[in-house]
Structure 1
Amino acid sequence: MTEADAISLLIEACAGGDDQALAQLHQREGGRMIGVALRILKRRTLAEEAMQDSFVLVWRHASRFDRSLGNGRTWLYAILRHRSLEILRKESRFDLTDDMAVFEGASDADDAETLMEKLDGASRLRSCLARLEPKRRAAILLSFAHGLSHGELAERLRLPLGTLKSWIRRGMQNLKECLQ
């Protein structure tokens, strides 16, 4: 049995609700998937997000996989590529890194409130950040100012990784809406 056949079988098992198959799929392909996503996105945090989102999509849509149309590995990486390109498009339309240049010299000891105070009081960004729930605002500010990965930030804030990613995603969506 080829590796591609083994992956196809795991995807088919996911379609049947086998969460262990998803874990095996993650174990087999997760590292390689991050590498592929990293080549597209150029930022590890975004590559990790693309990989995690891809596994969620595999779990939700495994029943759509049809081995007669191609092997499982091709299907898996097509999902990853599509998700990575979606993230890349969103990032190119809305990138806060230039606006947050004030944080370049931030100390690791700086908390979210200290970081918020460093922003220009009249800036639209500060106004929009002020509208966010404090926990989401803190996650976004600490992520940008300290360059922490989602995993590092979750550990620092003592939150489950999924919760932290949701907070950042929703907070970023709210910022986008506010800044447009």
Structure 2
Amino acid sequence: MTDAPAFDHEAALLACAAGERGALQRLYQQEGRYLLGVALCIVRDRALAEDVLHDAFLNIWTRAASFDPSRGAARGWIFTVVRHTALNRLRALQHEVNAGDDLEQLADHHEPAVQAPEWQADLGRLEDCLGQLSDAKRASIVYAYVDGCTHTEIAERLKAPLGSVKAWIKRGLAALRECIG
């Protein structure tokens, strides 16, 4: 009995960047069920998660050339694209609520994703607590947890020392825990 060769995510992304449609199909066959699980954990609605996965694969196809193996693993990059697509979809739903849509009406369309008023209250509390942080701490946390940036990428964006960024995130998270707690 021989082990099947490991799937080469990097080669699949490079093939996508070169326009090879079969590579995207192989990626979907290899990771689709796991990526759907990631989307489902974030948006909490099967139909919405399927839409997110579709959009994420379009993003993977169009952005495959931007993958840089020196910055991380190809599989991690793919999962990050799905995570960001799901989070962007949640943010879009949040903006719809802020634009004056009735929460009940929106909940009918995307039931589990934006259903509980407590979820909205938690987001409001988080927003208030984030507003109490210094600009550097807030930006570091948002870059790390919303944009999925590494500490090094955050340091580059903020033009700050790596150690400072790590400290801002650590202290900022502690302040958020205390504020929300």
TM-score by length of 1: 0.52
The CA distance in 2 between the partners of 1:55 and 1:100, in whole Å, is 26
Cα 1:18/1:93, change in 2 over 3 Å: same
Deviations 1:111-170 (A, max 9, x none): xxxxxxxxxxxxxxxxxxxxxxxxxxxxxxxxx49x8xxxxxxxxxxxxxxxxxxxxxxx
Q: Residue 98 of structure 1 aligns to a residue in which SS?
A: helix
What per-residue deviation string (whole Å, max 9, x for no partner) do you get for residues 7-36 of structure 1?
111011001110000011011111111101
Q: How does 1:1-180 map to 2 (within 5 A)?
A: 2-3=6-7, 6-95=8-97, 98-99=104-105, 144=109
What is the deviation of 1:76? 0.4
Q: Point out where structure 1 has 5 or more consecutive residues left out of the alignment.
A: 104-143, 148-180
Query: 1:92 offset after TM fit, Å?
Result: 2.1
Q: Which amino acid aligns with 1:58?
A: I
Letter in 2 for 1:60: T
Q: CA, structure 1 residues 12+97, in 2 after alignment: closer, same or farther (shift >3 Å)?
A: same
Give the letter aligned to residue 80 of structure 1. Answer: V
Structure 2 CA distance for partners of 1:92 and 1:72, relative to 1, 3 Å:
same
Q: CA deviation at 1:100?
A: 6.7
Q: How far apart, CA to CA, are the structure 2 residues paired with 1:73 and 1:99? A: 37
Question: Measured at CA, do residues 100 and 8 of structure 1 come closer, stay the same or move farther in structure 2, by a change above 3 Å?
Answer: closer
**1:54 and 1:97 mapped to 2: Cα distance?**
26
* Number of residue equivalences: 103
Identical pairs, percent: 34
What amino acid does structure 1 have at the position aligned with 2:39? A
Deviation at 1:67, TM superposition (A): 1.3
Q: In 1, distance between residues paired with 2:78 and 2:64?
A: 10
AA of the residue aligned to 1:16: A
Deviations 1:21-56 (A, max 9, x none): 001101111111110110011011111111111110
Which segments of 5 or more consecutive residues in structure 2 lack a partner in the other structure? 112-181
User: Letter of the aligned partner of 1:30 in structure 2?
Assistant: G
CA distance in 1, matches of 2:23, 2:105: 43
* Deviation at residue 70 of structure 1 after TM alignment: 1.1
For the residues of structure 1 that align with 2:71 and 2:81, how far apart are their CA atoms? 15
Q: Secondary structure at the match of 2:105?
A: coil
User: Secondary structure, in 3 states, of the residue corresponding to 1:94?
Assistant: helix
**Structure-2 residue corresponding to 1:155:** none
**Cα 1:100–1:13 shift into 2, 3 Å:** closer
Superposition misfits of 4+ residues, deviation over 3 angstroms: none
